[in-house]
Amino acid sequence: MPTSLPALTSRPRDAALDLLKWLALLSMLIDHLRHVWPPLYALYIPGRLAFPLFCLAIAANLVRPSPHARTPLPLRYLGLLLLFALLSEWPYRLLVQAPQSLNVLPTLVLGLLIASGVQQPHGQARWLALGALLLAVAAHSWLMFGLAGALLPAAFVHALNRPSPAWIWPLLLCLIANYWPPFYIDAARGEPFAWTVILSCALAPLFGLWLLRQPLQIGVPPVRRWAYLFYPGHFLVLAALREYWLR
């Protein structure tokens, strides 16, 4: 793989980053269609793109240069994630029956704190990152994608700031975050679906890093703060569709 990102400019928008966010939202929506129409379980495969691309978007926002002085923590970003982590839990449980974890935003909150400490390893950011890491360890079983998921944004920060082979850490963490023993048992038996799932988990972070390096010359509509509303909103819409479908 190429060893480093090209220098990011001071453009108001980064087309590759916006495209990355669109793909994350789309793959998340595609993945969750399984909860409305269970026969579409194969959508689990493209759905493996969503979480690593969201984590990469967090990392890219932390490492890209800014014309203004950065605060140790992106407080507005963190506040919105915390707010919608709370607002999204009921819609998430409305769609996902018998969930085994919280919605994904608490994982991203801890991931943002840990990644901020990796990007600026001093002062308040460092101590908050340590606290977030300890909380992720303690709450591992409650977090979607577990401790590995909370570490993934920091691994992407490391990969964006340092040359190859730093990309191996997002790849390994993505596999661990998505680890489910039945898939590996089926893969050992040669099941194509299981191998496809494992391969999609391994390739998702590499695809994201490759895409972020592309000097796109196309216009990509920006992903703004409406995307926070999209998260709980799409749960509600899909839950309503399922109720309608089951009538």
pLDDT in tens, 131-179: 999 999 999 999 999 999 999 999 999 999 987 788 999 999 999 999 9
Query: In this structure, is residue 48 part of a structural domain?
Result: yes
What's the pLDDT score for residue 246? 74
Query: In this structure, is residue 224 part of a structural domain?
Result: yes
What's the pLDDT score for residue 69? 59
Q: What is the dihedral of CA 201, 211, 81, 47, to 10 degrees?
A: -30
Query: In this structure, is residue 1 part of a structural domain?
Result: no
DSSP 3-state of 164? coil
Cα–Cα distance for residue pair 157/59, rounded to 1 Å: 5
Query: In this structure, is residue 204 part of a structural domain?
Result: yes
CA distances from 140 to 50, 82, 107, 110, 170 (A): 20, 18, 9, 11, 18
Query: In this structure, is residue 4 part of a structural domain?
Result: no
Query: In this structure, is residue 88 part of a structural domain?
Result: yes
- The pair of three-digit structure tokens given for residue 41, joined into one six-digit string: 């379980």
**Total structural domains in the chain?**
1
pTM of the model as a whole:
0.90
Cα–Cα distance for residue pair 205/170, rounded to 1 Å: 6
H or E stretch including 228? helix 226-245
Identify the domain containing residue 240 by its residue range.
15-245
Query: In this structure, is residue 5 part of a structural domain?
Result: no
Query: In this structure, is residue 10 part of a structural domain?
Result: no
Give the chain's residues under pLDDT 70. 1-12, 66-72
By the 8 A CB rule, do 28 and 228 touch? no
